[in-house]
Copies of this chain bind each other. A is one copy, B any other.
Amino acid sequence: MMNLAADFPTKKNIKEISQEEHISSKYLEKLMGILKKNQLVRSVQGQGGGYFLAKKPGQITAGEIVEILDGPIAPMKCSSAKCKMAEHCSASSVWSELEKEMKKFLYKQTLEKLIKNNQTKKYVRK
């Protein structure tokens, strides 16, 4: 029988990630489950198993991750949902404009870029 777990060398298991990221492993399990359901990561079950990215880091953005884990990117609940007050709400245009800005920014931030930034950070500090 083939060894599924050995086929994806970049995979990491919950234990490893939870230690690196200082998150409780139980909570991380939950989050990874959500990411998997939304096809941002894939996984191998069983002994030697773990998780790995489902796409290249350059093709995964902060925007996607946020919307999957936190729900809609929006400064206010009313900014994206069609708010029934919008007609006589003087603020609604501010919120919807701000929402656009936030999305624009977050969908520009790829994991690849983030990794690079973080490497620079470490380099500068040392």
Contacts and interface: CB of A to CB of B under 8 A. Distances in A.
Contacts of A85: 22
A117 interface: yes
Nearest to A109: B94
Interface in A17-51: 20-22
How many copies of the chain does the oligomer comprise? 2
A98 interface: yes
A67 to B, nearest CB: 13
Contacts of A105: 97-98, 101
A80 to B, nearest CB: 15
Contacts of A109: 94
A54 interface: no
